[in-house]
Amino acid sequence: MLDVEKIRRDFPVLNREVRPGVPLVYLDSTATSQKPRQVLEAMDNFYRASNANIHRGIHTLAEEATASYESARRRIAAFINAAHAHEIIFTRNTTESINLVAYSWGRANLQAGDVIVLTEMEHHSNLVPWQILAAERDLRLEFIPVTEEGLLDLEAYHRLLDLRPKLVAFTQMSNVLGTINPAAEIIAAAHQVGAVTLVDGAQSVPHIPVDVQALGADFLAFSGHKMLGPSGIGVLYGRTELLEAMPPFLGGGDMIKRVELRSFTTNALPYKFEAGTPAIAEAIGLGAAVDYLSAVGMQAIEQYEREMIAYVLERLEEIPGVRVFGPAAEHKGAVASFTMPEAHAHDISQVLDELGVAVRAGHHCAMPLHTKFGIPATARASFYLYNTRQEVDRLVEGIYRVKHIFG
């Protein structure tokens, strides 16, 4: 069991009042998580004591900076059980990680008429890069349907596999529905027809144990800022043999072994894909975030959030007119996107904010999914290891306030 009150003491912002007498209830961790003092201190200590560029100097600060940066890479590799630290490529975020695969692996391996299978619940970051590539290479995009219950239609998926796709790319956890997809099953079926797989782990890696070797994933993308780390740092995991065969994504310093006037030789992994000075402090901060999550325990976090979402759904179901999207609690992460007949999602969010409750409102970068359900927007409350049942009760009180104002 988590000691949530102890955990909350590590997050300075959770002590904030958004206005006098109105304490913050932060329910927007799906968009970005808050940061514990351990992450803040790790980044501050780097800038105060060891700030230098990496891989390029032999003085003390440069060696300390390089050691800290590469130590973070090794700990992140262990966190997702990558076979090798060089399979961890630092990027800016999940979006850049997916674009890296599209631009490098996609352009090297996909030809006119090839099929890519995606899903109807994808974030725009796992739609638009493939749409761009499809238009450029005359590729065919197909989509696994989402059922009314918010689950993937796996029978339809297996029919799509008869098309012999070259790539299957999907989210492990929906940022709108909270649906936790059966990643291992989807990947195994894709491999049976020779497809490469890419998993969008932006929502899953922060909240559930993810083992890339057990899943059999070829690529996995995730972001630091959603898992207690800083913004501006993300990760692309890729299997060694795939990364070695891929051309570089960006050109410049650190991704080269040798440069002549008319040619160059690429550096070894992972540096082949890390051109220029990277986000050093941010990588160190992400390493500290991984340490924090590991110390708490990902299985404990997953169990706590399952109990939390069950309570959230129970409370929301008691409110007349509120419609929550997505599956039942046993198939769902700690995300509750909802509508109510009295008010638009933006009005819901604004009223809740007046009460100190921070939720998201809009299409959450998943416009096709909202179109699928015939709605323009939802209000989304999302939860993490630092949230409490009392905060759920504050959310419910706020929704009743919305009903009073607009009803």
Q: Which residues are catalytic?
A: 365
Residue appearing with tokens 């007349």: 320
Q: Is-contact 309 336, C-beta < 8 A? A: yes
Which residue type occupies 227?
M
Query: Which residues on neighbouring strands pair with residue 197, listed in sequence order?
Result: 168
Q: Which residues contact 131 (CB under 8 A, 6 or more apart)?
A: 141
Torsion of Cα atoms, 223 then 229 then 231 then 233, to 10° = -50
- Pairwise CA distance, residues 371 & 359, whole Å: 21
The secondary structure element, H or E, covering residue 197 is strand 196-200
Q: Rg of the chain over CA atoms, in angstroms?
A: 22
Beta bridge partners of 180: 173
Helices 345-354 & 389-406 angle (0-180, nearest 10)? 120
| Cα distances (angstroms) measured from residue 392 to each of 119, 296, 351, 354 | 31, 22, 16, 16
How many Å apart are CA 198 and CA 25, to the nearest integer?
Answer: 34
How long is the chain?
407
